[in-house]
């Protein structure tokens, strides 16, 4: 198997702190720049799985980079440059402690909640009598808290504002940006034969300006259906063919793992790891309409570190 980045321990001039998330390692340079390395780690049910997925970081970073460029007219975003296929460097922002999840269809966790009898998700009423993978009359925003460890929790708009997580004025803007980004993402997906089913956006603030931060429209943050198969599969009550991380969650559930205490992650064979890598590459090619070019992974850590150092040396922002 090709080498995969599962850990970084870089040291850069002006390094102030390092945040290591489930998938990304983020280096804070003098509270001015953030260096975000998209690793090949993969998480599900808020658990980082024991093996990395070759080329996953490159897929995530390059899709996010393209969509940040394609939506910069809607909302300012944090990106300054992408000096390596696995790296984005951008403006330092203070993140809002919520994730803005928007859903166009009743699927995934929302369907699992609905099936248990819930007719309200994060304070948003949901019609009765819906079926799995059915389109909502209008997209709904179902925010969650942004947990530094453990599980994100569903939260309502009113709770966010009442608890002071986001001001009412800023939250109104976050909702507006979320709807417009989802609309743009859906348009771009449709041009490539896909349906953007649901996704999440994260925002931060620098000064008085709200920025779109982190990733956008990647298979880790989004779910896609194939447009040409959707109606037939839905009418027959069949599962949709998805381009997302949901198939990893389904594989884990089929093997008795849902991130609960005492459960063990099933063995990730070389065959399974390769199949996940192939699905990520397939999504890249579908959503961008471009062939995926695998970068040389022989000394991937050395290459990434060198490219970041060279950018930081030349940057005079």
Give the start-to-end residue ranges of the domains of the chain.
15-92+271-314, 95-244
Q: Is the pLDDT of residue 10 over 90?
A: yes
The yes-or-no answer to whether 15-92+271-314 and 95-244 have a common fold is: no
Q: For the segment 147-175, what is each residue's pLDDT rounded down to a tens digit?
A: 765 567 999 999 999 999 999 999 999 99
Q: Which two tokens stand for residue 48?
A: 């980082």
* Cα 303 off chain centre by: 24
Length of the chain: 317
User: Over 80: is that where the pLDDT of 216 sits?
Assistant: yes
Burial of 11 per CB tally in 10 Å (0-12, 13-18, 19+):
exposed
Superfamily classification of domain 95-244: ATP-grasp fold, B domain (3.30.470.20)
Beta strand extents in 147-258 (DSSP E only): 194-206, 209-213, 222-226, 242-244
Buried b (16+ CB within 10 A) or exposed e, 190-222: eeeebbbbbbbbbbbeeeeebbbbbbbbbbbbb
Write down the CATH number for the domain with range 15-92+271-314: 3.30.200.20
* Average pLDDT across the chain, whole number: 94
Q: What angle do CA 24, 63, 66 make, to 5 degrees?
A: 120
Q: pLDDT at position 2, please?
A: 59
pLDDT at 272 over 90: yes
State residue 284's pLDDT score.
93
Closest CA to 27 of 84, 96, 66: 84
Tell me: the pLDDT tens digits for 116-154? 999 999 999 999 999 999 999 999 999 999 876 556 799
């Amino acid at each position: 198997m090709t080498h995969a980045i599962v850990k970084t321990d870089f040291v850069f001039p002006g390094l102030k702190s390092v945040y290591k998330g489930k998938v990304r390692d983020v280096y804070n340079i003098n509270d001015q720049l953030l260096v975000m390395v998209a690793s090949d780690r993969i998480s599900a049910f808020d658990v980082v799985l024991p093996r990395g997925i070759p080329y996953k970081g490159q897929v995530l970073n390059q899709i996010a980079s393209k969509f940040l460029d394609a939506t910069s007219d809607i909302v300012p975003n944090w990106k300054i440059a992408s000096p390596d296929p696995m790296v984005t460097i951008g403006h330092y922002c203070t993140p809002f402690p919520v994730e803005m999840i928007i859903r166009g269809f009743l699927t995934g966790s929302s369907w699992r909640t609905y099936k248990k009898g819930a007719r309200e998700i994060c304070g948003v009423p949901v019609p009765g009598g819906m079926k799995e993978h059915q389109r909502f009359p209008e997209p709904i925003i179902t925010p969650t808290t942004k947990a530094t460890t453990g599980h994100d929790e569903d939260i309502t708009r009113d709770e966010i504002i009442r608890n002071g997580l986001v001001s009412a004025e800023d939250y109104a803007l976050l909702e507006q940006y979320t709807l417009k980004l989802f609309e743009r993402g859906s348009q771009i997906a449709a041009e490539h034969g896909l349906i953007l089913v649901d996704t999440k956006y994260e925002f931060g603030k620098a000064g008085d300006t709200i920025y779109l931060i982190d990733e956008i429209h990647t298979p880790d943050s989004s779910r896609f259906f194939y447009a040409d198969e959707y109606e037939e599969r839905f009418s027959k009550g069949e599962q949709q063919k998805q381009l997302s991380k949901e198939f990893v969650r389904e594989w884990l559930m089929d093997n008795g793992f849902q991130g609960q205490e005492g459960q063990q992650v099933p063995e990730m064979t070389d065959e399974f790891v390769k199949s996940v890598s192939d699905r990520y590459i397939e999504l890249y090619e579908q959503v961008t309409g471009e062939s995926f070019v695998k970068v040389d992974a022989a000394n991937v850590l050395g290459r990434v570190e060198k490219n970041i150092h060279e950018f930081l040396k030349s940057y005079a922002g």
